[in-house]
Protein backbone atom coordinates (compact mmCIF):
# COMPACT_ATOMS: atom_id res chain seq x y z
CA UNK A 1 0.00 0.00 0.00
CA UNK A 2 1.35 3.41 -0.99
CA UNK A 3 2.01 5.89 1.82
CA UNK A 4 2.75 9.57 1.71
CA UNK A 5 6.43 8.79 2.24
CA UNK A 6 6.47 6.87 -1.05
CA UNK A 7 5.46 10.00 -2.96
CA UNK A 8 7.78 12.82 -4.10
CA UNK A 9 6.35 15.20 -1.50
CA UNK A 10 8.30 18.33 -0.64
CA UNK A 11 11.03 17.64 1.91
CA UNK A 12 9.81 20.39 4.25
CA UNK A 13 6.39 18.67 4.46
CA UNK A 14 7.68 15.22 5.36
CA UNK A 15 6.73 14.07 8.84
CA UNK A 16 4.09 16.74 9.32
CA UNK A 17 0.46 16.12 10.27
CA UNK A 18 -2.59 17.97 8.94
CA UNK A 19 -4.30 20.45 11.23
CA UNK A 20 -7.40 19.24 12.98
CA UNK A 21 -9.14 18.50 16.25
CA UNK A 22 -10.80 15.19 17.17
CA UNK A 23 -14.43 15.09 16.04
CA UNK A 24 -15.80 12.53 18.44
CA UNK A 25 -19.42 11.60 19.06
CA UNK A 26 -19.77 12.68 22.68
CA UNK A 27 -22.50 14.45 24.61
CA UNK A 28 -20.58 17.69 25.18
CA UNK A 29 -18.14 18.97 22.53
CA UNK A 30 -16.14 21.93 23.77
CA UNK A 31 -12.93 21.51 21.80
CA UNK A 32 -13.13 23.66 18.66
CA UNK A 33 -14.38 27.04 19.93
CA UNK A 34 -17.60 26.78 17.97
CA UNK A 35 -20.65 28.78 18.96
CA UNK A 36 -22.81 26.21 20.77
CA UNK A 37 -26.06 27.96 19.89
CA UNK A 38 -27.80 26.89 16.65
CA UNK A 39 -28.74 29.46 14.03
CA UNK A 40 -32.16 31.00 14.94
CA UNK A 41 -35.05 29.80 12.81
CA UNK A 42 -35.75 33.26 11.39
CA UNK A 43 -32.15 33.51 10.21
CA UNK A 44 -32.29 29.98 8.81
CA UNK A 45 -35.26 31.03 6.70
CA UNK A 46 -33.55 34.23 5.53
CA UNK A 47 -30.39 32.37 4.53
CA UNK A 48 -32.48 29.72 2.79
CA UNK A 49 -34.31 32.34 0.73
CA UNK A 50 -31.06 34.10 -0.17
CA UNK A 51 -29.47 30.86 -1.35
CA UNK A 52 -32.64 29.76 -3.16
CA UNK A 53 -32.65 32.99 -5.15
CA UNK A 54 -29.21 32.18 -6.55
CA UNK A 55 -29.77 28.56 -7.55
CA UNK A 56 -31.14 29.16 -11.05
CA UNK A 57 -28.02 31.09 -12.05
CA UNK A 58 -25.44 28.61 -10.77
CA UNK A 59 -24.43 28.04 -14.37
CA UNK A 60 -22.72 31.44 -14.11
CA UNK A 61 -19.57 32.23 -12.19
CA UNK A 62 -19.92 34.23 -8.95
CA UNK A 63 -18.84 37.83 -8.53
CA UNK A 64 -15.13 37.13 -8.25
CA UNK A 65 -14.56 40.33 -6.25
CA UNK A 66 -17.57 39.81 -3.92
CA UNK A 67 -18.14 43.56 -3.89
CA UNK A 68 -21.60 43.55 -2.27
CA UNK A 69 -20.45 41.21 0.49
CA UNK A 70 -17.35 43.30 1.14
CA UNK A 71 -19.50 46.43 1.42
CA UNK A 72 -21.73 44.67 3.96
CA UNK A 73 -18.70 43.54 5.98
CA UNK A 74 -17.29 47.07 5.96
CA UNK A 75 -20.62 48.37 7.25
CA UNK A 76 -20.52 45.85 10.08
CA UNK A 77 -16.96 46.76 11.08
CA UNK A 78 -17.48 50.53 11.01
CA UNK A 79 -14.36 52.64 11.62
CA UNK A 80 -15.04 54.48 8.35
CA UNK A 81 -14.16 51.40 6.29
CA UNK A 82 -15.48 50.83 2.77
CA UNK A 83 -15.58 47.84 0.44
CA UNK A 84 -12.14 48.78 -0.89
CA UNK A 85 -10.71 48.17 2.61
CA UNK A 86 -12.16 44.66 2.95
CA UNK A 87 -11.43 41.28 1.38
CA UNK A 88 -13.28 38.01 2.02
CA UNK A 89 -12.46 34.34 1.52
CA UNK A 90 -13.37 30.83 2.72
CA UNK A 91 -12.53 31.35 6.38
CA UNK A 92 -9.83 33.55 7.90
CA UNK A 93 -7.32 30.75 7.28
CA UNK A 94 -7.64 31.28 3.53
CA UNK A 95 -7.36 35.03 4.03
CA UNK A 96 -4.11 34.53 5.96
CA UNK A 97 -2.82 32.06 3.40
CA UNK A 98 -3.39 34.66 0.68
CA UNK A 99 -1.53 37.26 2.74
CA UNK A 100 1.43 34.88 3.07
CA UNK A 101 1.34 34.21 -0.67
CA UNK A 102 1.43 37.93 -1.40
CA UNK A 103 3.88 39.16 1.24
CA UNK A 104 5.94 36.12 2.28
CA UNK A 105 6.78 32.85 0.50
CA UNK A 106 10.12 31.27 -0.49
CA UNK A 107 13.12 33.24 0.75
CA UNK A 108 11.00 35.20 3.24
CA UNK A 109 10.10 34.73 6.90
CA UNK A 110 7.02 34.97 9.11
CA UNK A 111 7.13 35.33 12.90
CA UNK A 112 4.56 34.59 15.59
CA UNK A 113 4.62 34.65 19.39
CA UNK A 114 3.82 31.23 20.86
CA UNK A 115 1.90 29.64 22.29
CA UNK A 116 -0.52 30.91 19.68
CA UNK A 117 -2.73 29.72 16.84
CA UNK A 118 -1.17 26.52 15.50
CA UNK A 119 -2.40 27.14 11.93
CA UNK A 120 -0.08 30.11 11.43
CA UNK A 121 3.13 28.03 11.11
CA UNK A 122 1.25 25.46 9.00
CA UNK A 123 0.09 28.18 6.62
CA UNK A 124 3.66 29.44 6.48
CA UNK A 125 4.91 25.95 5.61
CA UNK A 126 2.29 25.57 2.91
CA UNK A 127 3.44 28.77 1.22
CA UNK A 128 7.14 27.98 1.49
CA UNK A 129 7.68 30.65 4.14
CA UNK A 130 10.29 30.05 6.86
CA UNK A 131 8.59 30.19 10.26
CA UNK A 132 10.20 31.91 13.26
CA UNK A 133 8.72 30.80 16.55
CA UNK A 134 9.12 33.75 18.90
CA UNK A 135 7.86 33.43 22.48
CA UNK A 136 5.36 35.04 24.80
CA UNK A 137 6.28 35.71 28.41
CA UNK A 138 5.99 32.86 30.97
CA UNK A 139 2.56 34.18 32.03
CA UNK A 140 1.47 34.03 28.34
CA UNK A 141 1.51 37.84 28.10
CA UNK A 142 3.51 39.91 25.63
CA UNK A 143 5.14 43.23 26.44
CA UNK A 144 6.18 45.87 23.90
CA UNK A 145 9.83 45.48 24.90
CA UNK A 146 9.83 41.70 24.48
CA UNK A 147 8.03 41.87 21.13
CA UNK A 148 10.35 44.55 19.75
CA UNK A 149 13.48 42.71 20.90
CA UNK A 150 12.48 39.53 19.10
CA UNK A 151 11.38 41.33 15.94
CA UNK A 152 14.59 43.37 15.84
CA UNK A 153 16.64 40.18 16.25
CA UNK A 154 14.93 38.29 13.44
CA UNK A 155 13.75 41.00 11.01
CA UNK A 156 10.75 39.02 9.70
CA UNK A 157 8.92 39.90 6.50
CA UNK A 158 5.57 39.26 8.16
CA UNK A 159 4.45 39.22 11.81
CA UNK A 160 1.39 37.47 13.23
CA UNK A 161 -0.26 38.83 16.36
CA UNK A 162 -3.27 37.03 17.79
CA UNK A 163 -5.66 39.16 19.87
CA UNK A 164 -7.47 37.64 21.67
CA UNK A 165 -4.79 35.01 21.55
CA UNK A 166 -5.57 31.36 20.83
CA UNK A 167 -5.12 29.18 22.92
CA UNK A 168 -4.50 31.47 25.90
CA UNK A 169 -7.47 33.80 25.36
CA UNK A 170 -6.03 37.15 26.40
CA UNK A 171 -6.19 40.21 24.15
CA UNK A 172 -3.10 42.31 23.51
CA UNK A 173 -2.64 45.76 24.96
CA UNK A 174 -2.73 48.30 22.08
CA UNK A 175 0.78 49.42 23.05
CA UNK A 176 2.09 46.01 21.93
CA UNK A 177 0.51 46.36 18.51
CA UNK A 178 1.86 49.88 18.12
CA UNK A 179 5.35 48.80 19.17
CA UNK A 180 5.31 45.93 16.69
CA UNK A 181 4.13 48.22 13.89
CA UNK A 182 6.95 50.63 14.66
CA UNK A 183 9.64 47.93 14.65
CA UNK A 184 8.51 45.37 12.06
CA UNK A 185 10.13 45.81 8.63
CA UNK A 186 7.22 44.18 6.78
CA UNK A 187 3.54 43.36 7.18
CA UNK A 188 1.79 42.97 10.55
CA UNK A 189 -1.33 40.76 10.73
CA UNK A 190 -3.53 41.00 13.81
CA UNK A 191 -5.75 37.92 13.98
CA UNK A 192 -8.98 39.03 15.71
CA UNK A 193 -11.04 35.89 15.23
CA UNK A 194 -12.50 36.26 18.74
CA UNK A 195 -12.78 40.05 18.88
CA UNK A 196 -16.53 40.10 19.55
CA UNK A 197 -15.98 38.26 22.86
CA UNK A 198 -13.44 40.75 24.27
CA UNK A 199 -14.11 42.21 27.68
CA UNK A 200 -15.40 45.82 27.88
CA UNK A 201 -12.80 48.46 27.11
CA UNK A 202 -10.55 46.24 25.00
CA UNK A 203 -10.02 48.12 21.70
CA UNK A 204 -9.62 46.55 18.28
CA UNK A 205 -6.61 47.10 16.01
CA UNK A 206 -9.12 48.36 13.44
CA UNK A 207 -8.73 51.81 15.00
CA UNK A 208 -5.06 51.87 13.95
CA UNK A 209 -5.62 51.12 10.26
CA UNK A 210 -5.64 54.74 8.97
CA UNK A 211 -2.13 55.37 10.33
CA UNK A 212 -0.57 52.05 9.29
CA UNK A 213 -0.76 50.87 5.65
CA UNK A 214 1.19 47.69 6.54
CA UNK A 215 -1.36 46.62 9.17
CA UNK A 216 -3.95 43.95 8.38
CA UNK A 217 -6.76 42.89 10.73
CA UNK A 218 -8.33 39.49 10.03
CA UNK A 219 -11.75 38.43 11.29
CA UNK A 220 -14.17 35.52 10.89
CA UNK A 221 -17.89 34.84 10.99
CA UNK A 222 -17.27 31.35 12.41
CA UNK A 223 -17.28 32.24 16.09
CA UNK A 224 -19.54 35.07 17.24
CA UNK A 225 -21.89 34.68 14.25
CA UNK A 226 -22.16 30.90 14.68
CA UNK A 227 -21.37 30.58 10.96
CA UNK A 228 -18.51 28.05 11.13
CA UNK A 229 -20.13 25.80 8.52
CA UNK A 230 -20.56 28.79 6.19
CA UNK A 231 -16.78 29.31 5.93
CA UNK A 232 -16.46 33.08 5.72
CA UNK A 233 -13.41 35.01 6.87
CA UNK A 234 -12.30 38.50 5.94
CA UNK A 235 -9.66 41.16 6.40
CA UNK A 236 -9.61 44.93 6.80
CA UNK A 237 -6.62 46.91 5.57
CA UNK A 238 -5.44 49.69 3.30
CA UNK A 239 -6.93 49.27 -0.19
CA UNK A 240 -3.43 48.60 -1.54
CA UNK A 241 -3.31 45.43 0.58
CA UNK A 242 -6.58 44.26 -0.95
CA UNK A 243 -5.11 44.91 -4.41
CA UNK A 244 -2.06 42.82 -3.51
CA UNK A 245 -4.11 39.88 -2.24
CA UNK A 246 -6.12 39.80 -5.44
CA UNK A 247 -2.90 39.01 -7.32
CA UNK A 248 -2.73 35.60 -5.63
CA UNK A 249 -6.38 34.66 -4.98
CA UNK A 250 -7.84 31.86 -7.05
CA UNK A 251 -10.41 33.01 -9.63
CA UNK A 252 -13.97 32.84 -8.34
CA UNK A 253 -12.71 31.53 -5.00
CA UNK A 254 -15.85 32.53 -3.08
CA UNK A 255 -18.99 30.78 -4.33
CA UNK A 256 -22.24 32.52 -5.13
CA UNK A 257 -23.97 30.50 -2.40
CA UNK A 258 -21.38 31.43 0.24
CA UNK A 259 -21.69 35.10 -0.63
CA UNK A 260 -25.49 34.98 -0.48
CA UNK A 261 -25.57 33.10 2.83
CA UNK A 262 -23.01 35.41 4.43
CA UNK A 263 -24.88 38.54 3.33
CA UNK A 264 -28.12 37.17 4.76
CA UNK A 265 -26.37 36.37 8.04
CA UNK A 266 -24.91 39.88 8.21
CA UNK A 267 -28.33 41.38 7.58
CA UNK A 268 -29.60 39.47 10.64
CA UNK A 269 -26.52 40.02 12.80
CA UNK A 270 -28.54 41.29 15.76
CA UNK A 271 -30.26 37.91 16.06
CA UNK A 272 -26.98 36.03 15.67
CA UNK A 273 -24.81 38.14 17.96
CA UNK A 274 -27.32 38.01 20.81
CA UNK A 275 -25.58 34.81 21.95
CA UNK A 276 -22.26 36.58 22.52
CA UNK A 277 -23.21 37.92 25.96
CA UNK A 278 -24.50 34.50 27.03
CA UNK A 279 -21.24 32.89 25.97
CA UNK A 280 -19.18 35.54 27.77
CA UNK A 281 -21.22 34.88 30.90
CA UNK A 282 -20.34 31.19 30.76
CA UNK A 283 -16.69 31.99 30.05
CA UNK A 284 -16.47 34.22 33.09
CA UNK A 285 -18.30 31.59 35.13
CA UNK A 286 -15.71 28.97 34.14
CA UNK A 287 -12.84 31.30 35.05
CA UNK A 288 -14.34 32.22 38.43
CA UNK A 289 -15.29 28.65 39.33
CA UNK A 290 -11.91 27.15 38.44
CA UNK A 291 -10.05 29.87 40.33
CA UNK A 292 -12.27 29.29 43.35
CA UNK A 293 -11.09 25.68 43.25
CA UNK A 294 -7.45 26.77 43.23
CA UNK A 295 -6.91 26.02 39.55
CA UNK A 296 -4.65 28.34 37.57
CA UNK A 297 -6.50 29.94 34.64
CA UNK A 298 -5.39 32.37 31.94
CA UNK A 299 -7.38 35.60 31.59
CA UNK A 300 -9.73 35.28 28.63
CA UNK A 301 -11.19 37.76 26.16
CA UNK A 302 -12.35 34.92 23.89
CA UNK A 303 -15.04 32.23 23.96
CA UNK A 304 -12.73 29.69 25.59
CA UNK A 305 -10.61 29.24 28.71
CA UNK A 306 -7.09 27.82 29.11
CA UNK A 307 -6.68 26.07 32.47
CA UNK A 308 -3.85 24.20 34.19
CA UNK A 309 -4.26 20.54 35.11
CA UNK A 310 -0.97 20.25 37.00
CA UNK A 311 0.36 17.18 35.25
CA UNK A 312 -0.16 15.07 32.15
CA UNK A 313 -2.65 17.10 30.18
CA UNK A 314 -3.47 14.25 27.80
CA UNK A 315 -4.38 11.98 30.71
CA UNK A 316 -6.65 14.72 32.06
CA UNK A 317 -8.14 15.17 28.57
CA UNK A 318 -8.93 11.44 28.43
CA UNK A 319 -10.51 11.42 31.89
CA UNK A 320 -12.81 14.29 30.87
CA UNK A 321 -13.64 12.44 27.65
CA UNK A 322 -14.49 9.33 29.67
CA UNK A 323 -17.10 11.51 31.41
CA UNK A 324 -18.62 12.64 28.12
CA UNK A 325 -16.88 16.02 27.81
CA UNK A 326 -14.51 16.73 24.90
CA UNK A 327 -12.05 19.60 25.41
CA UNK A 328 -8.85 20.47 23.51
CA UNK A 329 -5.33 19.32 24.19
CA UNK A 330 -3.38 22.03 22.36
CA UNK A 331 -0.02 20.45 23.13
CA UNK A 332 0.83 22.87 25.92
CA UNK A 333 2.32 20.81 28.76
CA UNK A 334 0.05 20.77 31.81
CA UNK A 335 -2.76 22.85 30.25
CA UNK A 336 -6.08 22.21 28.47
CA UNK A 337 -8.51 24.50 26.66
CA UNK A 338 -12.28 24.43 26.98
CA UNK A 339 -14.83 26.28 24.86
CA UNK A 340 -17.47 28.30 26.70
CA UNK A 341 -20.77 26.84 25.56
CA UNK A 342 -24.30 26.83 26.87
CA UNK A 343 -25.15 26.84 30.58
CA UNK A 344 -25.84 23.10 30.55
CA UNK A 345 -22.56 22.40 28.76
CA UNK A 346 -20.71 24.45 31.36
CA UNK A 347 -22.50 22.46 34.07
CA UNK A 348 -21.32 19.23 32.46
CA UNK A 349 -17.74 20.43 32.11
CA UNK A 350 -17.45 21.73 35.67
CA UNK A 351 -19.01 18.57 37.02
CA UNK A 352 -16.71 16.32 35.01
CA UNK A 353 -13.64 18.30 36.02
CA UNK A 354 -14.59 18.16 39.69
Q: How many angstroms separate the CA atoms of 162 and 86, rounded?
A: 19
Q: Are residues 318 and 253 in the same domain?
A: no
Q: Are residues 85 and 145 in the same domain?
A: yes
Here the CATH number for the domain that contains residue 8 is 3.90.1150.10
- pLDDT tens digits along 86-118: 999 999 999 999 999 999 999 999 999 999 999
Task: Quote the number of domains for the chain.
Answer: 2
Q: How many angstroms separate the CA atoms of 78 and 74, rounded?
A: 6
Q: How many angstroms separate the CA atoms of 336 and 31, rounded?
A: 10
Last residue of a domain, one of 238, 270, 302: 270
Q: Are residues 279 and 323 in the same domain?
A: yes
Average pLDDT estimate for 64-91: 98
pLDDT band at 181 (very low <50, low <70, confident <90, very high): very high
Q: Are residues 312 and 291 in the same domain?
A: yes
Q: Are residues 147 and 193 in the same domain?
A: yes
pLDDT value at residue 237: 98
Last residue of a domain, one of 270, 297, 329: 270
Q: How many angstroms separate the CA atoms of 241 and 243, rounded?
A: 5
pLDDT value at residue 25: 87
Average pLDDT estimate for 301-307: 98
Q: Are residues 189 and 50 in the same domain?
A: yes
Cβ contacts of 29 within 8 Å, gap of 6 or more: 326
Q: Are residues 67 and 142 in the same domain?
A: yes
pTM of the model: 0.96
- pLDDT tens digits along 251-271: 999 999 999 999 999 999 999
Last residue of a domain, one of 237, 270, 303: 270
Average pLDDT estimate for 222-233: 97
Average pLDDT estimate for 302-316: 96
- pLDDT tens digits along 167-176: 999 999 999 9
Here the CATH number for the domain that contains residue 120 is 3.40.640.10
Q: Are residues 130 and 67 in the same domain?
A: yes
- pLDDT tens digits along 116-169: 999 999 999 999 999 999 999 998 999 999 999 999 999 999 999 999 999 999
% helix / strand / coil in the chain, to the nearest 5? 45, 15, 40
Q: Are residues 34 and 60 in the same domain?
A: no
pLDDT value at residue 19: 80
Q: Are residues 13 and 100 in the same domain?
A: no
Q: Are residues 22 and 59 in the same domain?
A: no
Q: Domain range holding 178?
A: 41-270
pLDDT value at residue 12: 86
pLDDT band at 15 (very low <50, low <70, confident <90, very high): confident
Q: Are residues 59 and 110 in the same domain?
A: yes
H/E segment holding residue 30: none
- pLDDT tens digits along 19-50: 877 788 899 999 999 999 999 999 999 999 99
Amino acid sequence: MTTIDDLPIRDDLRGKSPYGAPQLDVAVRLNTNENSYPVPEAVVEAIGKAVQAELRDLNRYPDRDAVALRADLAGYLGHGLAAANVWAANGSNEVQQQLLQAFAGPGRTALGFGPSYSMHPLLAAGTGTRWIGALRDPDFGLTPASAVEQITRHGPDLVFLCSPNNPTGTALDPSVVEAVLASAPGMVIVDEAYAEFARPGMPSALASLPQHPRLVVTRTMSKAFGFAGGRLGYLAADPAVVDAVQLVRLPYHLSTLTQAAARAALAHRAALLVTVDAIKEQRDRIVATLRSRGIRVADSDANFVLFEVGGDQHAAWQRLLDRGVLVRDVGLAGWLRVTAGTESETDAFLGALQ
